[in-house]
């Protein structure tokens, strides 16, 4: 058994922000979920294989909400329409556009997973 390294916080910049070319794009501080938190989302996630044989992860709204509530722990450069910084809070998470919420939730989910290399180390 090995400990989850995904719990260490790190920064994530969505591709949509990187593509803007602005000097300081919005970035989100995220961490992977704990094993106990994963238990809560496991029945809410569908893992499927597409016709090309690629694995697809389908997050429902309940799973995305749990991922964001637990795994999104900060941000930088997130501004309102007047250009003022939006302070990080659980309440202000609701101001993130839906498509970005799903992108961030997926990234948190993928950072939670233990890789095959991690398993070899144990």
CB 74, CB 28: distance < 8 Å? yes
* Phi, psi for 8 (deg, rounded to 5): -70, 125
Which runs of consecutive H residues, i.e. helices, occur in 12-76? 15-18, 35-41, 61-71
Q: How far, in Å, CA of 90 to CA of 73, rounded?
A: 9
Q: What is the pLDDT along the chain (122 residues), one digit of tens a residue?
A: 666 665 789 999 999 888 777 888 999 999 999 888 988 998 998 888 888 888 888 888 999 999 999 999 999 999 999 999 999 999 999 999 999 999 999 999 988 875 444 444 44
Residue 90 confidence (pLDDT): 93
Report the pLDDT value the prediction gives residue 116, as an integer from 0 to 100: 41
Interatomic CA distance for residues 66 and 43, integer angstroms: 12
Question: In total, how many domains does the chain have?
Answer: 1
- pLDDT for 24 equals 86
Closest CA to 14 of 113, 91, 111, 102: 102
Q: What pLDDT was estimated at residue 71?
A: 96
pLDDT of residue 5: 62
Query: 94: domain range?
Result: 5-121
pLDDT for the residue numbered 3: 65
Closest CA to 8 of 25, 28, 29, 27: 29
């Amino acid at each position: 058994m090995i400990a989850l390294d995904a719990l260490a916080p790190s920064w994530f910049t969505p591709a949509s922000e990187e593509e803007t070319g602005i000097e300081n794009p919005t970035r989100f501080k995220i961490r992977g979920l704990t094993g106990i938190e994963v238990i809560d989302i496991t029945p809410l996630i569908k893992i499927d294989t597409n016709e090309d044989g690629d694995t697809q992860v389908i997050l429902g709204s309940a799973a995305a909400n749990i991922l964001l509530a637990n795994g999104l722990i900060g941000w930088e450069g997130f501004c309102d329409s007047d250009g003022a910084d939006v302070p990080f809070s659980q309440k202000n998470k609701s101001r993130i556009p839906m498509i970005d919420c799903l992108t961030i939730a997926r990234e948190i989910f993928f950072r939670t997973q233990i890789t095959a290399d991690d398993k070899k180390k144990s």
